[in-house]
Structure 1
Amino acid sequence: MNRLLALSLCVSVLAFVGCKESGSGKRQIGVIPKGTTHEHWKGVEAGAKKAAAEMNVEIIWKGPLKEDDRAGQIQIVEQMVTDGVAGIVLAPLDDKALLRPVQQAAGKKIPVVIMDSPLAGELNKDFISLVATDNKKGGYLGGKRLAEVLGGKGKVVLLRYQENSASTAEREAGFMDAMKEAPGITLISSNQYAGATADSAQKKAESMLDVLRDADGIFCPNESSTQGMLNALERAGLAGESQKVKFVGFDKSVPLLKAMEEGKIQGLVAQNPEKMGYESVKVIVNKLDGKPVEPNVDTGVIVITKENLGSPEVKALIGR
């Protein structure tokens, strides 16, 4: 079959098989993050683009600016379906609200990989694979690190992220499991939500300063909540090795790693976003090529501390 005929056939059945090609003739894969400002998503993008270059496909990287724009993310998925991309990689902002547009993609025979955060759908019907951190394990490791630096005793605050975010809910659950294993620790606040940005997290933390001054330890489950809490602690004079409060957060960024080196953070639970983006695109391309795909791909999680910053594993992860 010559190329002109192949393209003609692709256009004629686009609504059914999603075989869109770019002007360069490459299959197009839509990659939709929860947001586009966090360092985590920049790492995911880099990994996705690396895989695309190796596998000769084109990435369409598009997501909402902020991680609370559910309607915006739904519209992006729907537009990708309408445009007839070959496949979609999605990090759902809401595990329920994004199910309908994902089902629309599946109805058009466009394979979907769910990345980073689970979706309340059915594997092999609504989506083909979940590529993500073991988030419950990550939260558990964060809790164990906080218990360690507290010597197994003290008063602790959990500042949650936002409702219906499945990945952070799993981290919070893992953290709570670790706290149950530390009978000398008392949880004094666990029902407050940071919201989608570092600014909203900082405002929430500043509204809790009386509780934070009473606390011995704090845990936050993602990059923006960790950064917002750090900002609030710094402004209130509660951050640093000379202060009693110990702080463990989630995700790595240049400012958070710097704060760790300065003794303001005692641990960061770190994902591998580059691997997440890379493996997600790899799964989609394998599916399009008729190859078997794994239903679940664990992209790994470790705890970074001031003491292990120089280890080969951590240096490879943070690019130093």
Structure 2
Amino acid sequence: MLKGGCRLNGKKRCLLPLLLAGVLFSCTVTFSAAKKIPTILVCPKTLDNSFWGNVRAGAMTAGKEYGASVIWKGPTVETDIAGQLAIMEDFVNKRVDAIALAATDVKALYAPVKKALNAKIPVVSFDSGLDPDPTLCLIATDNYKGAFEAGEALARLIGQKGKIACIPLISGASTSILREKGFNAAIARYPGIRLVAVQYSESDVAKGMAVAENILTANPDLDGIFAANEPGAMGAAQAVKARGLSGKVKLVAFDASPMEIEMLQNGTIQALIVQNPYNMGYLAVKTCIEALNGKKVPKRIDTGVAVVTMDNFYEPKIQQLLYPAGNSGK
């Protein structure tokens, strides 16, 4: 008999503990390799325009960095509230691991969000929240502050007096509501400024152009326009340019699409209120991952905003904000 109690003619008895250890090790390796990859639905207001394209780029980058499968799915237009409701219902029923949502309506999306949370699916808001907002975190621009700065910029451009118009997004969307409030609060500080028209673009370039045409026709002595998002801005810019009013009717607009930047450079737009959509998308996915890992997430993350004019256009930090992919505007 050998030390340890194994007989020379009982090799199987000696090998049994080793075989069991090998099986256990193999199971451990297999389990580790089969670790579940979390699936995160990122549901924007629409798949259209460059703003949402930059949000998507940030979300996909975070998905790769944190080992998550990101599903990018939203309605074709921002006004399709029913379409976004259907998407939410579908993916809650499919039991995705987490959801990041930019709500098309502050009230209508409340029910599917509550359903997800009740099913233990973490939900964060980005860009636009709910009222009331039960989501774990809102990752967004401070829209009130950004629009307040837009009002201040427009007031400076028109010498703190004159007639102006506002072209918001969509009635009922939290982003639009906050931007209207912020803009109105700013211009209320200037008794010489009169707001003569408020018409919604419905986040559509053609509609934005049509309402800008109507405003300009009704107010031939108009001094300035605030367009609260990219489609409204492009529509208003086209209307102003077509009438030969570039530079005469001052235009301040949210966002920084390539066309908006071009309009800023050629003088049709005088100031852009620039958000950080790439960072918004990145942080939306990152926050979902943190929630899934049991970490406490902040209730609010401000992704920042900057007022861009040709006076600060070439500053390095502004160039980085305008061209997150590194394509300089110089």
- TM-score normalised by structure 1 residue count: 0.89
Partner of 1:193, secondary structure, is coil
- 1:35-67 alpha-carbon deviations (Å, 9 max, x no partner): 011111001001111111111101000011111
Instruction: Give the distance between the partners of 1:151 and 1:24, measured in 2 at CA.
Output: 62
The match for 1:11 is none
Instruction: Indicate if the aligned counterparts of 2:216 and 2:222 stay in contact, CA closer than 8 A.
Output: no
The match for 2:242 is 235
The match for 1:195 is 202
Match 1:221 to one of 228, 238, 244 = 228
How far apart are residue 205 of structure 1 and its match? 1.9
Match 1:58 to one of 69, 91, 107 = 69
The match for 2:87 is 76
Instruction: Indicate if the aligned counterparts of 1:121 and 1:127 stay in contact, CA closer than 8 A.
Output: no
Change (3 A) 1:3 1:226: farther
Instruction: Indicate if the aligned counterparts of 2:141 and 2:304 stay in contact, CA closer than 8 A.
Output: yes
Instruction: Indicate if the aligned counterparts of 1:218 and 1:246 stay in contact, CA closer than 8 A.
Output: yes
Matches within 5 A, 1:93-172: 93-122=104-133, 126-172=134-180
Instruction: Give the distance between the partners of 1:197 and 1:3, measured in 2 at CA.
Output: 54
How far apart are residue 281 of structure 1 and its match? 0.8
Q: Which amino acid aligns with 1:275?
A: N
Report percent identity of matched pairs.
Answer: 38
- TM-score normalised by structure 2 residue count: 0.86
Matches within 5 A, 1:3-22: none
Match 1:173 to one of 170, 181, 185 = 181
Partner of 1:181, secondary structure, is coil
Change (3 A) 1:162 1:287: same
Q: Which amino acid aligns with 1:248?
A: V
Instruction: Give the distance between the partners of 2:29 and 2:118, measured in 1 at CA.
Output: 27
Instruction: Give the distance between the partners of 2:320 and 2:216, measured in 1 at CA.
Output: 37
Are 2:218 and 1:211 aligned?
yes
The match for 1:49 is 60
Instruction: Indicate if the aligned counterparts of 2:165 and 2:215 stay in contact, CA closer than 8 A.
Output: no
Change (3 A) 1:24 1:62: farther
Larger CA Rg, structure 1 vs 2: 2
Q: Which amino acid aligns with 1:172?
A: E
How far apart are residue 236 of structure 1 and its match? 2.4
The match for 1:270 is 274
Q: Which amino acid aligns with 2:278?
A: E
Instruction: Give the distance between the partners of 1:215 and 1:209, measured in 2 at CA.
Output: 7
Match 1:34 to one of 10, 34, 45 = 45
The match for 1:14 is none
Partner of 1:48, secondary structure, is helix
Instruction: Give the distance between the partners of 2:72 and 2:300, measured in 1 at CA.
Output: 22
Change (3 A) 1:96 1:225: same
Q: Mind listing any 5+ residue stretches in structure 1 that lack a counterpart?
A: 8-22
Partner of 2:225, secondary structure, is strand
How far apart are residue 118 of structure 1 and its match? 1.6
**More deviation, 201-210/309-318:** 201-210
Partner of 2:220, secondary structure, is helix
Instruction: Give the distance between the partners of 1:65 and 1:58, measured in 2 at CA.
Output: 22
How far apart are residue 156 of structure 1 and its match? 0.8
How far apart are residue 235 of structure 1 and its match? 2.2
Instruction: Give the distance between the partners of 1:51 and 1:212, measured in 2 at CA.
Output: 47
How far apart are residue 200 of structure 1 and its match? 1.4
Match 1:85 to one of 66, 76, 96 = 96
Match 1:256 to one of 257, 260, 267 = 260
**RMSD between superposed Cα atoms in Å:** 2.0
Change (3 A) 1:287 1:152: same
How far apart are residue 193 of structure 1 and its match? 1.6
**More deviation, 195-204/48-57:** 195-204
Instruction: Indicate if the aligned counterparts of 2:205 and 2:231 stay in contact, CA closer than 8 A.
Output: yes
Change (3 A) 1:97 1:209: same
Instruction: Give the distance between the partners of 1:228 and 1:283, measured in 2 at CA.
Output: 35
